Amino acid sequence: MKKLSTASKVYLLLVFVVLYAPIFYLIFYSFNSGGSMNNFESFTFEHYEAVFGDSRLLVILINTVIIALLSGLIATIIGTLGAIGIVSIKDKKMRNTLLSLNNVLIVSPDVVIGASFLILFTMIGVKLGFMSVLVSHVAFSIPIVVLMVLPKLLEMNTSLIDAARDLGASRRDVLTRVILPYIQPGIFAGFFLALTYSLDDFAVTFFVTGNGFSTLSIEIYSMARTGISLTVNAISGLVFFVTVLVVVGYYFVTNRTKRAGQEVQR
Amino acid sequence: MKSLVQATVAIIVVCALLFFVADRLESAGSAGSKDTITVYNWGEYIDPELIDQFTEETGIKVIYETFDSNEAMMTKVEQGGSAYDIAVPSEYMVEMMKEKNLLLPIDHSKLPNLQNIDPYFLDLAFDPGNEFTIPYFWGTVGIVYNPSLVADHLDFTSWEDLWDPSLKDKVFLVDGAREVIGMGLNSLGESLNAKDDALLRQATDKLITLSPNIKAIIGDEITPLMINDEATVALTWSGQAADMMWENEELDFAVPEEGSNLWFDSFVIPKTAANIDGAHAFINFMLDAEVSAQNNDYVGYSTPNAAAMELMDPEVIEDERFYPDEELRDNLEVYENLGLQWIGKYNEYFLEFKMSIR
Amino acid sequence: MFSKASKGSLFPYYIWIALFVIAPIVLIVYYSMLDLNGNFTLANYTAFFSSVYLKMTLTSFWYAFLITFFTLLIAYPTAFLLTKTKHKHLWLMLIIIPSWINLLLKTYAFIGIFGLYGPINAFLEVFGLEEQQILFTDFSFIFVSVYIFIPFMIIPIFNSLDKLNPTLVYAARDLGASSFTTFRRVIFPLTIDGVKSGIQVTFIPALSLFMITRLIAGNQVITLGTAIEQQFLVSQNWGMGSTIAVFLIIIMVIIMLLTGQKKGGRA
């Protein structure tokens, strides 16, 4: 593998700087003793202390994470199966129809999705709260999973599957040993982007939640009128650091075990 | 495949753990109390300490939910599916909710502290006899500006000052049809509740001549911009102006003399209420002079609670910009519910105006 | 041979489509034919064909196009270079993580960053340039939109580049193809599915962008998404809001048909 040229490195660095700039900006102000993201007065940890003193906010944070992870997981399963099914459809018209339907929720503004889900849930008589929010998040995350898995499926060489079948693999084996490993990057991509959808969503959650269930987004948006408190910055900063630590840590741990495993085999 | 299974298991384990923690945190908060009420309010619109104090005093646990717009709140109440015992709509929304039969009457005999409220704020047109509402905060719409950044002759005692050529590309407006079209109507000396196509047309045409001065039409984001001296002049609500002036002492606020809007946020008991007694207890608690004074200190908007004002810093309550005397208040109008047809028209004219600013 | 077994895998997916796609569409179409008093009418549809909404449709398209174009322009090289790094999957994760922080918070951060006294202007000043109001311009609007969509574009492209067989590239180079020809004739065609997928998840939602049209563009850009938002929440005119939503869906279907896979199904 060739080494990246300096120009390439600078380019990547620039992209990362831009991506992280607003986040570091938020974190910077989470240490501001003044009440807002405006003038930096002096350094303080008080907003971080406030996070741990506010059990309501902590519960909301946990709710947010649970909803994101669970909805991401369920949406990924349904979406991946759906994408495999769509690819297997031979009728071109049928396939295009399904794909168009798939994208309806991506093009619909959140308010429309939220309002129609709310009407749907109250019509069926679902109690609003954790379940209704979870189901809605699964619903609007499925299309992104399909769109991430689909290109991997289309790239897949059919002869791979034929070969497996010729060698006597059962359908189940074909799915678990050939198809899934091949499209795995697409599945992970779908899952991670489903997390993004879930964590970012305000409008849909707002409409379908109730009975005391709340997520971080709802708290943040409803604070806009009177000013977003820096406690929210602090909580975002904490979430950010924990996420980065988990991801980096997980990456190096699995890498090491993989390498160790390979060495043992040798 | 193996890593997919591993990831799935990991997610489920993490979720189960989080569930457990959340459950522990929640049960720690409510030590065995079965009595709860759900309060539906704007974010950061109450001192959270008071909620704890209320639970201590009455044993009623408060579930606090938040919304970010009157309309969205009404949709939730209208559709049901969740029990809200208290909501805090603005006055025009009170009328709309009344029309749709979304409110329950309030029993004044359960609110001994109601006597703390300044009678001026009781029995208003949007709710005669306070059958459904108890005032929470009030304010006006006006112009917040930075005197050091505008020409000396501008003091915004008149809406006409906004049209001053020196303000080219400097004026910010709030993203609200009633506020902006209302300002157009006020500047013509008309009522901001006008139901007359010709007048609305005239007001819109007048607003379009303001376009060169307009920098942007935004919402709550105006607060940081004004604080940072990035925006010079903005049409906004008095409550927000107070927030800005708290952080940037150079700013000033004026309500033009041609007239403007007077607004109220009130407690109501929506028809979704499950604990009506609890709701009354909460309202009565919030009307207490000391509680109200403390809450006002936290929120910073103008309070209708006369008894609380006596406990507050005189400098705050003597500030005519936020506590205008009755004579000044008489120049102001409360929004009437114009009906959906006219609200639609206001929004169409507002859209036309928005499309003209570039 | 994805055949029969995989048909069964569609079952939960079909349930999802029926409940959360078809049912809402039916609801939206129904509402779009109601006026404010709840009577049946087609007036909303005729209202859509007024100059205001047509102009908005065009604006939405134009900005969605610009956003997609710039997102692709930045994302493709990023994805390409990422596949060449040592810990490529880690770097890819680090591209996604920023999108997990609440968008409204990040938007407020951008308001600060772009501000007259923010870091960008401070930086410009070092070079002797004058302070500029960056907020409420086309530039800031497109910049922040691109920022939002970049992970959505990078990931599918990264995935299709990642599995690209390097021998193909070496072969092309050995046969004397220039870098550019190799890219145009070998790499790009092989990653086209990833690019398409990236364009779909950028262009389609960009059509209905709202919130940042107000926060970052100060309502100087008005998209169909903003209009729907306003109709639903402010005017309480669900009929008109639904009508615009119906048109958005129609537009999306047309785009899907135009960019749809030409290849038939897999046998």
Predicted local distance difference test score (pLDDT) of residue A3: 67
Q: Which of residues 221-260 of C touch A (CB under 8 A)?
A: 225, 228-229, 232-233, 238, 241-242, 245, 248-249, 251-253, 256-257, 260
Q: What is the pLDDT of residue C267?
A: 31
d(CA A208, CA A123): 12
Q: Do the beta carbons of residue C252 and residue C25 sit within 8 Å?
A: no
**Looking at beta carbons, which residues of chain C come within 8 Å of B230?**
115-117, 133, 135
With b for 16 or more beta-carbon neighbours within 10 A and e for fewer, the C231-263 pattern comes to bbbbbbbbbbbbbbbbbbbebbbebbeeeebee
What is the mean predicted confidence (pLDDT) over B300-318? 92
Using a CB-CB distance cutoff of 8 angstroms, which residues of chain B are in contact with residue A59?
22, 25-26
Q: How far apart are CA B338 and CA B295, in angstroms?
A: 32
User: From CA A138, how far away is CA A102, in angstroms rounded?
Assistant: 13
Report the gap between the CA of B25 and the closest CA in chain A (Å): 6
Can you tell me the distance from the alpha carbon of B317 to that of B100, in angstroms, rounded to the nearest whole number? 37
Q: Do A15 and C78 touch (CB under 8 A)?
A: yes
Task: Give A-chain residues touching B63 at CB under 8 angstroms.
Answer: 211-212
Place of tokens 């090289």: C77
| % chain A with pLDDT above 90 | 39
Using the 8-state DSSP alphabet, how is residue A177 labeled? I
Q: Which chain B residue shows the shortest CA-CA distance from A214?
A: B65
pLDDT at A260: 67
Residue range B260-277: mean pLDDT, rounded: 94
Neighbours of B166 (CB within 10 A): 12
Q: Are strands B252-254 and B171-174 parallel, antiparallel or unpaired?
A: unpaired
Closest residue in chain C to residue A158, using alpha carbons only? C1
pLDDT value for C122? 84
CA dist B214 and B169 (Å) reads 5
What residue in A sits closest to C234 (Cα-Cα)?
Answer: A111
In this structure, of A181-190, A251-260, B85-94, C176-185, the range with the lowest mean pLDDT score is A251-260
pLDDT of residue C265: 39
Q: What is the mean pLDDT of residues B202-209?
A: 96
Residues of B in contact with C234 (CB under 8 A): 71, 176-177, 343, 347
pLDDT at C224 over 80: yes
Between residues C163 and B222, the one the model is more confident about: B222
DSSP state of A231: H
Q: Which residue has the higher pLDDT, B102 or A254?
A: B102
Instruction: Give the right CATH number for A50-229 from 1.10.3720.10, 3.90.79.10, 3.40.50.2300, 3.40.50.1820.
Output: 1.10.3720.10
Q: Which CATH architecture has domain C51-237+244-259?
A: Orthogonal Bundle (1.10)
DSSP output for chain C: --HHHHHHTTHHHHHHIIIIIIHHHHHHHHHHTB-TTS-B-SHHHHHHTSHHHHHHHHHHHHHHHHHHHHHHHHHHHHHHHHTTSTTHHHHHHHHHGGGGS-HHHHHHHHHHHHSTTSHHHHHHHHTTPPP---TTSHHHHHHHHHHHHHHHHHHHHHHHHHT--HHHHHHHHHTT--HHHIIIIIIHHHTHHHHHHHHHHHHHHHHT--SHHHHTTTTSS--HHHHHHHHHHTS--HHHHHHHHHHHHHHHHHHHHHHS--S----
pLDDT computed for residue B108 by the predictor:
96
What token pair was written down for A56? 């309501």
pLDDT confidence tier of residue C208, bands split at 50, 70 and 90: confident
Residue extents of the structural domains in chain C: 51-237+244-259
Q: Has the ipTM of the complex gone over 0.95?
A: no
* CB–CB contact C201 A90 (8 Å): no
CB-CB: which of C36, C108, C116 is closest to B340? C36
User: What residues of chain A lie within 8 A of the CB of C103, using their CB?
Assistant: 200
**Long-range Cβ contacts of B49-57 (<8 Å, 24+ apart):** B49/B294, B50/B285, B50/B286, B50/B291, B50/B294, B50/B295, B53/B291, B54/B282, B54/B285, B57/B285
What integer is the mean pLDDT of B312-335? Answer: 89
Alpha carbon of B167: minimum distance to chain A alpha carbons (Å): 24
Please give the residue of chain B at the shortest CA–CA distance from C51: B352
pLDDT greater than 50 at residue B197? yes
Per the DSSP assignment, residues forming a β-bridge with B143 are B235, B254
Shortest Cα–Cα distance, B342 to chain C (Å): 9
Tell me the pLDDT tens digit for each residue of B162-180: 999 999 989 999 988 999 9
What integer best gives the mean pLDDT of chain C? 86
Q: Give dist(CA C166, CA C129) in Å, integer.
A: 46
Looking at the partner chain, which of C24, C210, C261 has a beta carbon nearest the beta carbon of A120? C24
pLDDT band at C200 (very low <50, low <70, confident <90, very high): confident
Name the residue in chain C with its Cα closest to that of A199: C100
The order of strands in the sheet holding B36-42 is: B61-67, B36-42, B86-87
Give burial (CB, 10 Å; 0-12/13-18/19+) of B191.
middle
Question: How many beta-carbon contacts under 8 Å exist across A and B?
Answer: 134
Q: Would an 8 Å CB–CB cutoff place B4 in contact with chain A? A: yes
Query: Please, which chains are in contact with B (at least 3 CB pairs closer than 8 A)?
Result: A, C
Buried b (16+ CB within 10 A) or exposed e, C109-123: bbbbbbbbebeebee
Distance (Å) of CA B141 to CA A103, B220, B263, B265: 43, 14, 8, 14
Furthest C-alpha separation in chain B: 77
Q: Taking CB atoms and an 8 Å cutoff, what residues of chain B touch C231?
A: 347
With CB atoms and an 8 Å threshold, state whether A226 touches B43: yes
Q: What is the pLDDT of residue B339?
A: 86
- Listed range (A29-38, B130-139, C35-44) with the worst mean pLDDT: A29-38
pLDDT value at residue B87:
96
Q: Chains with 3 or more CB pairs closer than 8 angstroms to C?
A: A, B
Tell me the chain A residues in contact with residue B240 when contact means C-beta distances shorter than 8 Å. Answer: 225
Residue A239 CA to residue A236 CA, distance in Å, equals: 5
CA dist., res. B221 & res. C104, Å (int): 10
Surface-to-core class of residue C174, CB atoms within 10 Å of its CB (0-12 exposed, 13-18 middle, 19+ buried): exposed
| Greatest C-alpha distance within chain A | 71
Residue pair C96/A19 in contact by the 8 Å Cβ criterion: no
Reply yes or no on whether the pLDDT at B194 is more than 70: yes
DSSP lists the bridge partners of residue B62 as B37
| Residues ≥6 apart with Cβ < 8 Å to C226 | C209, C210, C213, C214, C219
B71 marked ligand binding residue: no
Q: Do B38 and A62 touch (CB under 8 A)?
A: no
Instruction: Read off the pLDDT of residues A122-165 as tens digits, 9 standing for 90 and up.
Output: 888 888 889 999 999 999 999 999 999 998 888 877 777 778 87
pLDDT of res. C263: 46
Condensed to tens digits (0 to 9), the pLDDT of residues B37-56 reads 999 998 889 998 999 999 99
Contact B247 A59 (CB under 8 A): no
Region A201-214: mean pLDDT is 88
Report the SS3 class of residue A101.
helix
**Alpha carbon distance B262, C113 (integer Å):** 35
How far A195 CA lies from chain C's nearest CA (Å)?
7
To the nearest whole percent, how much of chain B has pLDDT over 70?
98
Which positions 152-191 of A are in contact with B (Cβ < 8 Å)? 176-177, 180-181, 184, 187-188, 191
Least confident residue range of B212-216, B345-349, C15-19, C229-233: C229-233
From residue B319, alpha-carbon distances to B242, B314, B323, C17, C87 in Å are 11, 8, 6, 59, 61
Chains that touch A (3 or more CB pairs under 8 A): B, C
Kindly tell me if the per-residue pLDDT of A5 is higher than 90: no
- Does the annotation place B44 within a ligand binding site? yes
SS3 B58: helix
pLDDT tens-place string over residues A98-111: 888 998 888 888 88
CA distance B272 to C92: 47
Residue B262 pairs in a beta bridge with: B140
Most confident of A254-258, B326-330, C93-97: C93-97
Q: What integer pLDDT is reported at residue C261 of this predicted model?
A: 54
Question: Domain-by-domain residue ranges, chain A?
Answer: 50-229
* Helix, strand, or coil (residue B48): helix
Is the predicted pLDDT of residue C6 greater than 60, yes or no?
no
Q: How many beta-carbon contacts under 8 Å exist across B and C? A: 80
Determine which of A4-8, B1-5, C97-101 has the lowest per-residue pLDDT on average: B1-5
Q: How far apart are CA B57 and CA B64, in angstroms?
A: 17
- What distance in Å separates residue A61's CA from the closest CA in chain B? 9
Query: Residue C115: which of B72, B218, B228 has the nearest Cβ?
Result: B228
Question: Which residues have a Cβ under 8 Å from the Cβ of A258 and sit 6 or more positions away?
Answer: none
Mean pLDDT, residues C261-267 taken together: 43
Question: Mean pLDDT throughout A217-238?
Answer: 85
Using an 8 Å CB-CB cutoff, list chain A residues near B22: 59, 62-63, 66
For tokens 């401070």, what's the residue?
Answer: C122
Q: Would you tell me which residues 2-41 of chain C have a C-beta closer than 8 angstroms to some C-beta of chain A? A: 2-10, 12-13, 16-17, 19-25, 27-28
The answer for B217, left when phi > 0, alpha when psi is -120 to 50, beta otherwise, is beta
Q: All domains of chain B, ordered by start, with CATH?
A: 36-132+263-324 (3.40.190.10), 139-261+333-355 (3.40.190.10)
Give the Cα separation of C178 and C187 in Å (integer): 12
What number is the average pLDDT over the span C136-145?
93
pLDDT band at C264 (very low <50, low <70, confident <90, very high): very low
Look-up: residue for tokens 């609380």? Answer: B308
All residues of chain C having their beta carbon less than 8 Å from the beta carbon of residue B215 are 133, 136, 218
Distance CA B134, CA B110 (A): 12
Chain A interface includes C213 (CB < 8 A): no
CA-to-CA distance for B62 and B45, rounded, in angstroms?
15
Beta-sheet pairing, B134-145 with B233-237: antiparallel
Interchain CB distance below 8 Å, A122 and B81: yes
State the amino acid at position A121 in one-letter form.
Answer: F
Tell me the C-alpha distance between B305 and B179, whole Å: 26
Is C263's CB within 8 Å of A154's CB?
Answer: yes
For residue C265, give the nearest of A29, A92, A248 by CB distance. A92
Written as six digits, the tokens of B243 are: 């927030």
Asked whether residue C191 carries a pLDDT value surpassing 90, the answer given is: no
| A11/A5 Cα distance (integer angstroms) | 10
